[in-house]
Chains A and B, each alone.
Chain A
Amino acid sequence: MQKSKIYYDSNKRGLPLVEEFKELLRYRELLFILIINNIKSRYKRSTFGVLWTMLNPLLYMAVMVVAFSHLFRFQIVNYPVYLLSGLIAWNFFSQTTTQAMGTLVWGGSLLKRIYIPRTIFAVAAIGSGIINLALSCIPLILIMLITHQPIYATWFFTPISILILGGVSLGVALIVSMIAIFFTDIVELYQVLLQAAFYLTPIMYPETALPENVQRFLVLNPMYDVVKVFRGPIYDGHLPSQYSLCAAVIATLVVLLFGWWFFTRTADQISYRI
């Protein structure tokens, strides 16, 4: 019997990570459309539009600067830049993971009817997050110019830190978006967890503000090193130390691989749960 080309064989599964990556590449048109939709839907309902991405961290920073430089008196040089550079990294993390949850809930009804690569919604959230991050660098640079902060050559390291940031966010996005399909209340619960994690990560305070016995536990927070690696080259012109770079990369790989494993393991159950 003449055998024609096989398009799909349910028994054949290549190395899942490589396989999914190839599928994403094949569906890149859909990926671009999803990224653009994410961005459009964010600005459609606000009067300030794109401007809001830049205004939001600035206003937040203004509040923090007033509150902290007078109340707590941290010994931080150029606190606005310290805060803003950490805040941008954190906002990327919290926005992309939250968005991935929302879009997978919409896309879930689609996933049970037609085949598309399942990770596409989480990956699209990271994609639109990177565009937003690039936009929010504009007010950061503006503040740096106003406060006479030098713009260091170490800015060139930023693409690598965005890669690390994107990896850790993708891992968490895969986990929380998959849980959101099964349990709708995770959306509210996650916001509370995010808030807690925000205060546990040295973003608006220096890590030296923590008692020494607490500082040791910072290593357990994957976002600690990731934020540090992102902030360092921008804020004080030093490349991240080998130690914190290693810690950030390892934390990212652990979170990403766990997220990937959890997502692909559970994904086959989507179509009989929604």
Chain B
Amino acid sequence: MEPMIHLENVSVRYKIPNVRVSSIKEYVVKLLQRKMFYHEFHALNNVSLEVYAGEVFGLIGQNGAGKSTLLKVIARVLRPTKGRVILHGKIFPLLELGAGFDPELTGRENIYLNSAILGFSKKDIKSRFDRIVEFAGLQEFIDTPVRNYSTGMSSRLGFSVATDVQPEILIVDEALSVGDTDFQKRCTDRIHTFRKNGTTILLVSHDLSAVQTMCDRVAWLHHGELKAMGKPDDVIAQYTQASASVA
């Protein structure tokens, strides 16, 4: 099998200031008082892994273990401090709760905005517009500004736009808790269809049973390091054992 995602000794180091400074005034004052310190934080340490085409790959680990950092490196948002990331396909992150929406614009305008953010052309969207609206179930509200939408409505719209076309690589970051149970079921159905048709899926979740049933392979991250990788049953067993012994 050929790899879709290839990580080679990837490390990410953050420089974290001791205090969170959000204004120039504060920054200058703290600098003059010599109260600005930075310490280095290894969010990821020497992680190497490969995700193969058509695979559902799960990431587990406690909060702060480096799961989101790993996703960011793969989503091209963060450049690794060391190491190398190679992607062999176009990546689609599921934006959480309508992150790409402009609340002042209508649902219709936001579909075009969000699609352009995902790199689709306008012509593409025109032909798929009705399907997107129908899947989100927002036919009546499509010309209402998104600021009047409920959280459920805007995340439904976000999901519909992002998954209307089968992506090559899909990143799902605990975004499945979207909308009512009916919509959730349609979401999981859609992801299952993608999986059947060969989309590579990267799933991050705290829901271990979901990871166990959906994933082909699982990686366990702990303090930025790859603790274990392999069959879901084995890795999850190791992970729960380790968590239990700590607690």
Task: State the A residues within 8 Å of B (CB).
Answer: 1-11, 26-27, 29-30, 33, 37, 41, 44, 106, 109-116, 179, 182-186, 189, 268, 271-272
Contacts and interface: CB of A to CB of B under 8 A. Distances in A.
A107 to B, nearest CB: 9
18 contacts: A5-B88, A6-B86, A6-B87, A8-B76, A9-B84, A27-B119, A29-B122, A30-B116, A30-B117, A30-B119, A44-B104, A113-B96, A113-B99, A114-B77, A115-B76, A183-B24, A185-B24, A272-B14
B85 A9 contact: yes
A33 B100 contact: no
B116 A33 contact: yes
A1 B2 CA distance: 8
Nearest to B73: A10
Given A26-B119, A41-B104, A183-B24, A271 B78 contact: yes
B24 to A, nearest CB: 5
A57 B67 CA distance: 52
A33 B113 contact: yes
Interface string B78-98: 111001111111110101100
A37 B103 CA distance: 12
Given A3-B2, A6-B88, A44-B104, 14 more contacts: A2-B2, A4-B88, A8-B87, A10-B80, A10-B83, A11-B84, A29-B120, A30-B119, A106-B102, A110-B117, A114-B77, A182-B22, A268-B78, A272-B14
Contacts, number: 101
Contacts of A271: 72, 77-78
Given A4-B2, A272-B14, A29 B116 contact: yes
B233 to A, nearest CB: 29
Contact of B22 (A5, A11, A112, A183): A183
B172 to A, nearest CB: 13
Contacts of A114: 75, 77, 93, 95, 100, 117-118
Interface residues of B, number: 43
B112 interface: yes
B60 to A, nearest CB: 21
Contacts of B73: 10
Nearest to A9: B86
B51 to A, nearest CB: 13
Given A37-B105, A186-B24, A272-B14, A116 B87 contact: no
Contacts of B88: 4-7
Best-buried of A8, A116, A189 by chain B (most CB within 10 Å)? A8
A186 B21 CA distance: 13
A8 B88 CA distance: 7
Contacts of B96: 113
Contact of B85 (A10, A29, A183): A10
Nearest to A189: B24
Nearest to A186: B24
A7 B119 CA distance: 14
Contacts of B90: 7
A109 B119 CA distance: 17
B27 interface: yes
Contact of B27 (A8, A27, A41, A183): A183
A5 B105 CA distance: 37
B25 interface: yes
Contacts of A272: 14, 78
Contacts of A109: 99
A111 B75 CA distance: 10
A33 B112 contact: yes
B121 interface: yes
Nearest to B41: A272
B53 to A, nearest CB: 8
A29 B122 CA distance: 7
A99 to B, nearest CB: 14
Contacts of B112: 33
B9 to A, nearest CB: 12
Nearest to B112: A33
B168 to A, nearest CB: 8
A138 B231 CA distance: 69
A27 B77 contact: no
Contacts of B24: 179, 183, 185-186, 189
Contacts of B120: 29
A1 B50 CA distance: 14
